[in-house]
Copies of this chain bind each other. A is one copy, B any other.
């Protein structure tokens, strides 16, 4: 199996009000992912609130995940930061801790030019020696990667894969074909956006970078395996079963929803870092109802 192909599960990073990581709760989350047998773990992704945690807390979280997975499951870790030197240090920490790769987003405050993003990514790859996954997440960074920039970056030594944002299901096939034609042979191309992931995997994407898999890995893994085995009908059936969850993600954001699911499942009572607020009671009931339905459907 190619590097980082299949299901990459992105757990939350439980932390207290002061931004101190709850390592016991994180360990529970990682153990669930190991037990399910996901193909990789996406630690400290956007769902893992990496931008809200200090360097020291990120290092603590990574250490727990690496201890728990051992050599069995690769850990990809968010190393994004506003400053290039800080991203380099985070990538160096990740390499020293044994992460398989670093997820690097074009985090910005002052809007960045294409050349600035190119320099940023090249510098982090070169100065850390950590394999870097391009993390294209315009919903949080507001930076838009052009096809041309992806092509330039994909040929930089040490930049090894891409995590694309959600594409409309009907556009994934052509997007994937175009990106394959502009990236080196074997360059793993994956997608975020859980609600169009089934279609992405059916179209032949290498990786599903999944928020839901961070808390409900089993059903996500069944969907990925069905798509990988060419069982399109079963992949679409499971995707349809999950559509109430996708609706919650769209209404409340996937981040706020999975915090609530983790709470309802008794895995973690943590709230997202402020200013992000936990879902209000009515929304929480709606999530609970969806979970019950899902359990029945999958029984």
Contacts and interface: CB of A to CB of B under 8 A. Distances in A.
Interface of A: 17-19, 46, 49, 51-52, 82-85, 107-113, 115-117, 119-120, 123, 139-142, 253, 255, 272-277
Contact of A140 (B51, B83, B111, B119): B111
| Copies of this protein, total | 2
Contact of A142 (B19, B120, B142, B255): B142
B46 A274 contact: no
Given A19-B83, A110-B255, A140-B110, A275 B116 contact: yes
A229 B155 CA distance: 60
A123 B107 CA distance: 26
Given A46-B109, A109-B107, A82 B117 contact: no
B112 A276 contact: yes
A52 B82 contact: yes
Contacts of A108: 275
Nearest to A140: B109
A272 to B, nearest CB: 8
A112 B273 CA distance: 12
A226 to B, nearest CB: 31
A253 B110 CA distance: 9
B140 A276 contact: no
A220 to B, nearest CB: 21
B113 A277 contact: yes
Given A119-B275, A119-B277, 10 more contacts: A46-B110, A52-B109, A108-B275, A111-B253, A113-B277, A115-B277, A116-B275, A120-B274, A123-B274, A142-B142
Nearest to A18: B85
Contacts of A82: 51-52
Nearest to A53: B83
A262 B49 CA distance: 37
A85 B119 contact: no
A277 B84 CA distance: 11
Contact of A274 (B109, B119, B277): B119
A112 to B, nearest CB: 6
A116 B83 contact: no
A84 B274 contact: yes
A196 B272 CA distance: 39
A51 B109 contact: yes
Given A109-B46, A109-B51, A110-B140, A17 B85 contact: yes
A85 B120 contact: no
B111 A275 contact: no
Contacts of A115: 277
